[in-house]
Amino acid sequence: QQKVQQSPESLSVPEGGMASLNCTSSDRNFQYFWWYRQHSGEGPKALMSIFSDGDKKEGRFTAHLNKASLHVSLHIRDSQPSDSALYFCAASEPGANTGKLTFGHGTILRVHP
Amino acid sequence: DMKVTQMPRYLIKRMGENVLLECGQDMSHETMYWYRQDPGLGLQLIYISYDVDSNSEGDIPKGYRVSRKKREHFSLILDSAKTNQTSVYFCASRQANTEVFFGKGTRLTVV
């Protein structure tokens, strides 16, 4: 069973619109969550992390974590064509020595003019 | 400049040949990873290394082995490559629970 599940598989939003991506974990050991973004031909790059319940805002990006339901979301306001990419949710167990990061299958975001 | 460097970027090998993918990082990170990425499957962990000669299997280690003799270098070896190992391979590194830094990937085609 996929331990980190993302939805939707793909998403198309107009330029200037709001994009909302979702992620759910089935493993209660996962306490730390990350959002990564991958542009075509590049490696994934970390967008932001969230470890505590509630919202975390960084510029146009807001992540929300609900630990009780193990649900994480990413909201991108004022979406730009440059935001078009593959977005991954990733999760890990707390503790510096585990190191293992488990990724979802990704959401393809397309921002159209 | 924090960087993970992968060589080569593109590689074509025949079935049964040995393959060596190399990775270097300049951040003195203890932990390094090898992932493979296939369409619709996301990133799958092949091996994780916690430091020199301290390697552990990830989720899909079969058909692969790794070598880490220096903290800054981590190699992925495919002995007798198979066509189902055609994929994009990513090396990554990390310190503690900070972000994972990825290289640009190696696109391997086994024919």
pLDDT in tens, B71-101: 999 999 999 999 999 999 999 999 877 889 9
Task: Specify the DSSP element, H or E, that contains A85.
Answer: strand A85-92
Residue A103 touches chain B, beta carbons under 8 Å: yes
Rounded Cα distance between A86 and A107, Å, is 6
Task: Specify the DSSP element, H or E, that contains B103.
Answer: none
Is the pLDDT at A30 greater than 70, yes or no? yes
Q: What is the pLDDT of residue A53?
A: 94
Write out pLDDT tens, residues A62-96: 999 999 999 999 999 999 999 999 999 999 887 65
Residue B12 touches chain A, beta carbons under 8 Å: no
Residue B94 touches chain A, beta carbons under 8 Å: yes
Q: Which residues of chain A make contact with B90, given a CB cutoff of 8 A?
A: 43-44
Q: Which residues of chain A make contact with B94, given a CB cutoff of 8 A?
A: 99, 101
Q: What is the pLDDT of residue B56?
A: 94
Residue A63 touches chain B, beta carbons under 8 Å: no
| CA distance to partner chain A, nearest, from residue B20 (Å) | 19
Other residues' Cβ atoms within 10 Å of the Cβ of residue B14: 9
Q: What is the pLDDT of residue B18?
A: 96
Rounded Cα distance between B45 and B61, Å, is 8
Q: What is the pLDDT of residue B48?
A: 95
Q: What is the pLDDT of residue A97?
A: 55
Q: Across the interface, do B103 and A43 touch by the CB < 8 Å criterion?
A: yes
Token pair, residue A4, equals 């980190």
Rounded Cα distance between B56 and B79, Å, is 18
Rounded Cα distance between B103 and B7, Å, is 10
Residue B39 touches chain A, beta carbons under 8 Å: no
